[in-house]
Amino acid sequence: MAHEPIRSIFENDPDMMEIVRDFAVALPERRRSLQALLEANNLDALQVAAHQLKGAGGGYGFQPITDTAARLEQALREGVDASALKDHCQALCEVLDAVTVSENV
């Protein structure tokens, strides 16, 4: 399911635009890492990655990243089954794919 474009609440803040863009540019690699960790069943590292995205998402003004990463982190803590875990990870990947930044930087 495609998400509406997700933009940072800081995208028009001249002091934040460049670091928001840098964060967004790194998201495809983070997405690949999430998928690789899930496929390798490295759940400890996946939980660390979800936790980092939870904090960073809000810090860079992308609340949907924070919310979705928090759900993945909670699912990992609770030890949900593999199918549910895959769904949570996919949801986070879809949110990361939906992130867009202004071309004005």
DSSP track, the chain: -PPPPB--TTTT-TTTHHHHHHHHHHHHHHHHHHHHHHHTT-HHHHHHHHHHHHHHHHHTT-HHHHHHHHHHHHHHHHT--HHHHHHHHHHHHHHHHHB---TT-
Q: Which sequence spans correspond to the domains of the chain? A: 43-100
Q: What is the pTM of this model?
A: 0.92
From first to last of its 105 residues, the chain has per-residue pLDDT tens of 556 899 999 989 999 999 999 999 999 999 999 999 999 999 999 999 999 999 999 999 999 999 999 999 999 999 999 999 999 999 999 999 999 987 654
